[in-house]
Amino acid sequence: AVKFVMSIANKEGAEACISRAKNFLANSEFDRAEKFLRKSIRLFPLDEAQQLLDRVAVLKSRSANASSSSTAPRSSTSRPTVIEQTGPLKQDHTPEQLEVVSRILKLKCYYAILGVDKESSIEADFKKAYRKLAIKLHPDKNHAPGAADAFKLVSSAYQCLSDKQKREIYDQYGTEDPHSTGQQFRFREDELTPEEVFSMFFGGPVRRGRGSFGFHRTQPRSENEQQSSPLASLIHMIPILLILIFTFFGSNSSNELPFRLNPSGEFVILRTTSSDVPFYVDRYFRYRYERDRRAVNQVERLVEEEFFKSLRQECALERQQRKEKIRKARNYRGADQPTRLRREEERIMERCEELDDWYTRIS
């Protein structure tokens, strides 16, 4: 009976590894996919894991060949052959990638594009739906015909529905620009490109105003402008000074910070940083900080510092607990001692994996 229960547990763990491997495979992260597939096979021999592992080997080989072909010297006699061999690889896409592109391009309704419910969806649903589709459709990952257009559609849908004012207009008129008015111009003025929206979620070199937490976004003003409004400049710096006070004098007490990592008391309004780290603020946050993007970026910096600090602590605790369980498994004298030991040695540390995923995402 014990062996039967252990077998079920190992199978469930193997299936979980396969699921994670599929996610990495969809993002062309072949090494990480291979890691979890091999872990799955060690836990429980499933045919699907071996099939996916074979597929990963083929894809890694193709990727290596494409890379070597692109860097190899080309002669006048061999150039046609190189183009003929590497061309299909650059346009390689799976049936699943083509299917999701075709499905998105057929849709007109923003809610249908994101796959969310019009009546019950909240901002977090839009973020989750966008993240899922953007990974599948980004032109760097998906080379199916029409992927770039589908990626733009998803970006437009998210930008409209995640903005309360735009969403209300869209719900009323079926478009976010019902009239040619000044309001329409304001929407277009602050419209982000699809790549900028993607970078807000996943990081990257095209982040707008993020960089070193966005300090370079504001355009330099002329000397006359700088000298003409010293009081305005001083007022402009007040939010930054408040953040510095929080940083230097409030580091020992999270209650003095203008956010919480979990909902608590009046801190129940969900926001996310540009790297999509969730945090909670009170109803006064928007009035204190949102007028100055630099102040918001400073808050987001503090959020991410606290978030990763907490995640590192939880990961360290997981490692310590795993070490203790391995020690107990080694000292166990039952017949299933090898199975217990192997299970503990191969146990997935979820918080450590999450920390690793975050570092990979924002690097």
248-255 LR contacts (CB < 8 Å, sep 24+): 254/306
Query: Over pLDDT 90: what percentage of the chain?
Result: 7
The domain ranges of the chain are 1-92, 94-175+188-208, 229-363
pLDDT score at 70: 56
Q: What sign for the dihedral angle of Cα 40, 45, 51, 56?
A: positive
> What confidence tens digit (pLDDT) does each residue in 92-113 have?
688 888 899 999 999 989 999 9
The distance of Cα 184 from the centroid of its chain, to the nearest Å, equals 30
Residue corresponding to tokens 């020690």: 327
Q: Among 150, 127, 128, 156, which Cα is nearest to 137's?
A: 150
| Burial label, 49 (beta-carbon count in 10 A; 0-12, 13-18, 19+) | buried
Residue 362: pLDDT band with limits 50, 70, 90: low
Give the pLDDT score at 361: 67
Q: What is the pLDDT of residues 342-352, one digit of tens each?
A: 888 888 888 88
Lowest mean pLDDT among 12-21, 80-89, 351-360: 80-89
Name the pLDDT band for 75 (thresholds 50, 70, 90): very low
Which residue, 5, 17, 3, is CA-closest to 50?
Answer: 17
pLDDT computed for residue 101 by the predictor: 92
Q: Over the stretch 205-229, which tens digit does the pLDDT of each residue have?
A: 333 333 333 333 344 444 444 444 5
Of 235 and 212, the one with more pLDDT:
235
Residue 235 has pLDDT above 80, yes or no: no
Average pLDDT of the chain, as a whole number:
73
Give the pLDDT of residue 104.
Answer: 93
Distance CA 299, CA 118 (A): 31
What are the tens digits of pLDDT across the range 315-347?
A: 889 888 888 999 998 999 989 889 988 888 888
| Exposure of 31 in the CB half-sphere (CA atoms within 13 A) | 2
Neighbours of 96 (CB within 10 A): 12
Annotation: CATH topology of 94-175+188-208: Helix Hairpins (1.10.287)
Whole-number Cα distances in Å, 107 to 112, 129, 168: 7, 15, 20
pLDDT attached to residue 200: 58
Residue 103 is predicted with a pLDDT of 92
Pair 127, 270: CB distance under 8 Å: no
Query: Any idea which of 46-60, 206-220, 277-291 has the lowest mean pLDDT?
Result: 206-220
